[in-house]
Structure 1
Amino acid sequence: MIDSATLLAVAEQLVSGKNLEVEGKKFKVTRTGSRHLRTARFELGGREYQAIEQNPEKPSRWGQLAMKGHRVVQFRDLGTQKYVAVAVDDKVREYGSKS
């Protein structure tokens, strides 16, 4: 289980600044090539993750929420290459959990 409060803090920092801080370490926020979406790699609990701003042009429900102005950030575990959670505004949903 991933700390939801930390993921919310990462999502907020991702969309509002050029750096983010997790567990006392600073990580650089960059932009993707074609869509210029914000992204950042960070470490949490000994694992490496990537936070990715949702592309509002995607037809998924997350893309539709982003298009409507919601802050949607996807989180990917770089060890497994699987998406593990999504933050929408002030809520975090872990994939594979029933919450």
Structure 2
Amino acid sequence: MTLAETLIAVWQQALADEKPVVELDAKRYRVQKTRAKGLRTVDFEYGGHRLTGIEQNPRTASRWAELARKGQRIMQFSSAGRYVGNVCEAKLMRYPAWTALGLPD
């Protein structure tokens, strides 16, 4: 499974299917909720890279938040403290940090 496919799988299981645990290649990662805003979050690994997925906060001013307010399910992904992409309704968008961090296709 590619990294892109993995991010979509995490989005599918955590947000679309609302599963409490994400399963990737026989490994299980618990879906948690942030204390302050109750946003779903999951920490996982891919090819030696640690990544975090967090549900888009609909209460911010970004265009992604606007889509979340309209009912779209969006998960932002970060690695090494930088946002590398997001998945919105099963469609991946990569950010420049993806390449800068040398993440695999």
**Common topology (TM > 0.5):** yes
The runs of at least 4 aligned residues of structure 1 exceeding 3 Å deviation read none
CA distance in structure 2 between the partners assigned to 1:7 and 1:41 by the alignment: 11
Provide the residue aligned with 1:94 in structure 2.
Answer: 94
Provide the residue aligned with 2:66 in structure 1.
Answer: 64
Equivalent residues in 2 for 1:1-99, closer than 5 Å: 3-15=3-15, 16-77=18-79, 80-96=80-96
CA distance in structure 2 between the partners assigned to 1:90 and 1:19 by the alignment: 18
CA distance in structure 1 between the partners assigned to 2:14 and 2:60 by the alignment: 20
Give the secondary-structure state (helix, strand or coil) at the position aligned to 1:75: strand
Percent identity, aligned pairs only, is 37
> 5+ residue gaps in structure 2?
99-105
TM-score, normalised with respect to structure 2: 0.84
Give the secondary-structure state (helix, strand or coil) at the position aligned to 1:70: coil
Give the secondary-structure state (helix, strand or coil) at the position aligned to 2:8: helix
Give the secondary-structure state (helix, strand or coil) at the position aligned to 2:64: helix
- Residue type at the aligned position of 1:40: V
Q: CA deviation at 1:3?
A: 2.2
- Larger % of helix: which? 2
Q: Does the Cα contact within 8 Å between 1:23 and 1:44 map onto a contact in 2?
A: no
RMSD between aligned residues? 1.3
CA distance in structure 2 between the partners assigned to 1:90 and 1:27 by the alignment: 19
> 5+ residue gaps in structure 1?
none
TM-score, normalised with respect to structure 1: 0.89
